[in-house]
A and B are shown apart, each in its own frame.
Chain A
Amino acid sequence: MPTAAPLTSTTIDGAIDHLQTTYPKAVSVDDREGYGGIIVDSAQLLDVARVIRDELGFDYLSSATAVDYLGAGDHMEMVYHAYRSSGGGALVFKAQTERDHAEIPSLVSVWRGADFQEREAWDLYGIHFPGHPNLKRILMWEGFHGHPMRKDWREAYYEEEQKPFDSRWPGGHVHRAEEKNVFGKNVSYPREIDLSRLMDTSESAVYQSLGLGVDVERVMDKDGFETNELVVNMGPHHPSTHGVFRMVLTVDGETVTSLEPVMGYLHRNHEKIGERNTYLHNIPFTDRLDYISSMGNNHGYVLAVEQLLSLGRRYNEPTYRCEVLRVLMVELSRIVNHLWAIGFWLNDIGAFFTPVLYFIQERERILDFFEAVAGSRMMCNYMRFGGLFGDLPERIKSVSNLTNDRARDYNTIQFLTEMVSERIPRTIDELEQLLTQNEILIERSVGVGVLSAEDAINYSAAGPLLRGSGVPYDIRRADPYSIYDELDFDVAVEDAGDMYARYRVRVKELRESVRILRQLLPRLEATEGQSIWADGKPGAYAPRVPLGEAYGRVENGKGELGYYIVSAGGKSGTSNPWRYHVRAPSFINLTPMGIMSQGYKVADIVGILGSIDIVLGETDR
């Protein structure tokens, strides 16, 4: 269907029009109040998805997640956010299915990045995806009964649907949850289950998906030597997996023939907790996702909720100073994140702790700053809807009040200026002196763990993993938020797609962050005295969030961090999100881990994993 402008660069509305004319029956505009995008008939979903990718150019599937509309239509819905890797906004499309026998065709054949996300939707929502190559649970274990994100599923120690719980006030007699019987009213078993005969079947499922049992096979390698193909478990308890994480490898001699990540050991159903919580309650919970960069987590979440709030009448945009402070904090977190990522990646490939400790010295100072401003080093809980917890204190000062305290006292702005103009750049220089030309490092990392640009996009890789493969996609530029469009910085990119390229991207980004910070200092000075709240006073603790959906995304240190939030609206008087989904970069960046490892040596695997830079608090949620 030839048109005047090339379809791959039409506006979102143009794209929607095109889809509607091509598929008049299957595509309809989502006209629910506060919603956007299109609803696609799931029978035609695959065709429409191919058009979206190939004809309209939305080659990057950022997020795919499910929503359970129990009591509000009684259907399940898959929500997809597709972007163009050249930049711009999202094409949101949805497919609906009934709750019993929920079934939606798998999009893995269109976007490989849907792989883990569909498995998650199957695991947590019980939506079946015909056509998925490996549809099994991903966060819960095989054999788990039920799908915990469904609205009618209740957790152990269940108390009430939503916080705040009535039992806390005014008649709040304390109890410990674990003193109650966990098998009380909260848990139900299907009648045919005999607890005494329960067996763990999750293991065999993992091995079966690799195409073999646990048996050792005798095979010949390419030179005719007799070798054993083995299944090796790395983790869950392994010092190089950065937490409790496991990789099941099949190896032929030293060479990896296939790899599958196994995760979920730190799963706490963060999203279910988030839907019990009020909007405000969720901010400190986001700190615990990627606990290296909690400021960035806060930012993505408040942006999403602010999108919803701005649909209502009583909403004030954050002030300019507030935006400056947010970006300041987020860029400092990015520095912390990259220093940490590079340092621990070096640990993985054998430069044990010398480099990382040099970086941690700077990180400590940044964390001291966070502590003085936000009250905590890592669990910052700093951002609020429409504002912040507080402005910068005049001094970074501690008073000695425990025995043997060592006190400090600095002028905040001076401390910040010296960090930005001297210490951090010096550390980056040292980092490069130590590593960039280091022959051992180069030999270990060049040409290892290669991911091509096409694969990176198709597998929904994000952050340094994507940019290290030659795709100059940075949300701060591609789909700007906050004040990034007025700041001067370059998108770091490297073409090689190997571990070394990812390292180089991180170093470049460190320098770009310093560049941004330098531009922020005069802005801080210029806005001195301006309130961080638009109306001068802190926001309410239970804001009324209007009906609708929102997707807030930020470029976090580890990649694209997105929050998909659905509000049931103020009509029902609830201040709790109906749906709270985290698009976690650490989780989705593991999707290409398998193809990145094939053909490399076992010893490279830890390095490849380290070069992706994951954090398990976010992977497992």
Chain B
Amino acid sequence: MYGTGLAKGLMLTLRHFVDSYIDDIRYGFRKYSHSVDNFGIRQGTQTKGVITVQYPDEKVAVPERFRFVPFLIVEDEDHPTRAGKDWCTSCGICAKVCPPQCIWIVRGNDPDTGRPVPEPEAFFIDIDICMNCGYCAEYCPFDAIKMDHDYELASYDRTTHHIHDKERLSKPNSYWRSIAPTRAYEEMLARGTWEHKDAAKEARRGQSSSRRSAPRPAAKAAPAPAVKEAQPTPEPAVSAAPVAEGSTPWSEDDAKREERRRKALERKARRAAKRGG
């Protein structure tokens, strides 16, 4: 009969309309609860109705692999030896793999010898050009550049705010471990240490000279145990455990660490002064 097809379709619209309210009742109107059991389920595969996320009052949290404009990792401020130091060695690979060529790096030079030092002097990313492809993070051999989750970068004036310099790009290592715990853990496994590659190397060198009996780690075969020796209290190997405040994995006492950190900062300041003059 003419019109049956239409009527069937309209029944479906009605069902969709009702379904959302049924879900609202089933989940007890807990629309505004943050819990995963509520929002997660209603966005998942089990639910039938729809739920609207009231952006910007509410936001959908992004998954770990989500990629937005990259940031540079610097060592945490409470690190004993490398506080505030860039993980980036200014090797230039990210600038080469960047498809729209929006990364500019000035390689650092030692003012005395003129030789390149493994730290960028300046680092720029033009976020208007960046296509958020994630290559820089994927191919950086030092895990020094990572894709950020903060996507709210709009500003009123693009000429002043949209070229991120090194200061704007830098975020502490702990930040990366908090936004992407699983990935940070996987990277640790690949590197063989929670530390920067170079720091681990230094640690190994120090260790093999002082304790000659210590076997040199076969570089790739089994790096993890070797590093465990270097770090008396390594991170527990759980995936979702970013370092909580106050539980530093290093066993040195605070004074010593503070001393080293001060010296590092002094060195840095001296270099900066030389450059300026």
Q: Which residues of B contact A172 (CB under 8 A)?
A: 95, 103-106, 122, 124
Report the minimal beta-carbon distance from A14 to chain B, rounded to whole angstroms: 43
Is the pair A173, B131 in contact by a Cβ cutoff of 8 Å?
no
A541 at the interface (CB under 8 A from B): yes
Is the pair A164, B96 in contact by a Cβ cutoff of 8 Å?
yes
Listed stretches B32-40, B195-203, B226-234, B264-272; interface member: B32-40
Q: Which residues of A contact B154 (CB under 8 A)?
A: none
Given A371-B62, A381-B133, A399-B179, check contact A409 B36 (CB 8 Å): yes
Report the minimal beta-carbon distance from B228 to chain A, rounded to whole angstroms: 23
Partner of A541, one of B6, B57, B139: B139
Is the pair A174, B139 in contact by a Cβ cutoff of 8 Å?
no
Partner of B40, one of A173, A410, A419: A410
Query: Interface readout for A417-438 with B: 1 if CB under 8 Å, 0 if not?
Result: 0110011000000100111111
Query: Interface readout for A522-542 with B: 1 if CB under 8 Å, 0 if not?
Result: 000000000000000010011
Q: Which residues of A contact B274 (CB under 8 A)?
A: none
Residue of A nearest to B56 (CB): A404
Residues of chain A from 254 to 284 with CB closer than 8 A to chain B in the complex: 277-278, 280-284
A393 at the interface (CB under 8 A from B): yes
Is the pair B103, A168 in contact by a Cβ cutoff of 8 Å?
yes
Residue of B nearest to A365 (CB): B45
A153 at the interface (CB under 8 A from B): no
Partner of B67, one of A176, A280, A376: A376
Interface size class, chain A: 35 or more
Q: Which residues of A contact B57 (CB under 8 A)?
A: 404
Q: Which residues of A contact B134 (CB under 8 A)?
A: 375, 381, 389
Taken together as a complex, chains A and B put the C-alpha atoms of A376 and B137 apart, in Å, by: 14
Is the pair A406, B124 in contact by a Cβ cutoff of 8 Å?
no
Residues of chain B from 175 to 195 with CB closer than 8 A to chain A in the complex: 178-179, 181-182
Is the pair A438, B6 in contact by a Cβ cutoff of 8 Å?
yes
Query: Interface readout for B44-64 with A: 1 if CB under 8 Å, 0 if not?
Result: 111000100100011111111
Report the minimal beta-carbon distance from A284 to chain B, rounded to whole angstroms: 4
Chain B interface main SS type: mixed
Partner of B90, one of A170, A399, A401: A170
Given A372-B65, A418-B45, check contact A405 B60 (CB 8 Å): yes
Q: Which residues of B contact A401 (CB under 8 A)?
A: 61, 149, 178-179
Q: Which residues of B contact A283 (CB under 8 A)?
A: 133
Taken together as a complex, chains A and B put the C-alpha atoms of A419 and B132 apart, in Å, by: 28
Question: B residues bordering A, Cβ < 8 Å?
Answer: 2-6, 8-9, 12-13, 16, 34, 36, 39-40, 43-46, 50, 53, 57-67, 90, 92-93, 95-99, 101, 103-107, 116, 122, 124, 126, 131-135, 138-139, 147, 149-150, 152, 159, 163, 178-179, 181-182
7 A-B residue contacts at CB 8 Å? Answer: A172-B95, A172-B122, A173-B122, A281-B99, A400-B34, A541-B96, A541-B97
Question: A residues bordering B, Cβ < 8 Å?
Answer: 163-165, 167-174, 176, 277-278, 280-285, 354, 358, 361, 365, 368, 371-376, 379, 381, 389-390, 393-394, 396-410, 415, 418-419, 422-423, 430, 433-442, 538, 541-542
Having A371-B65, A397-B63, A439-B5, one finds 11 other A-B pairs with CB under 8 Å, namely A164-B95, A169-B96, A173-B122, A280-B99, A283-B133, A379-B131, A406-B61, A407-B36, A408-B60, A433-B9, A438-B6
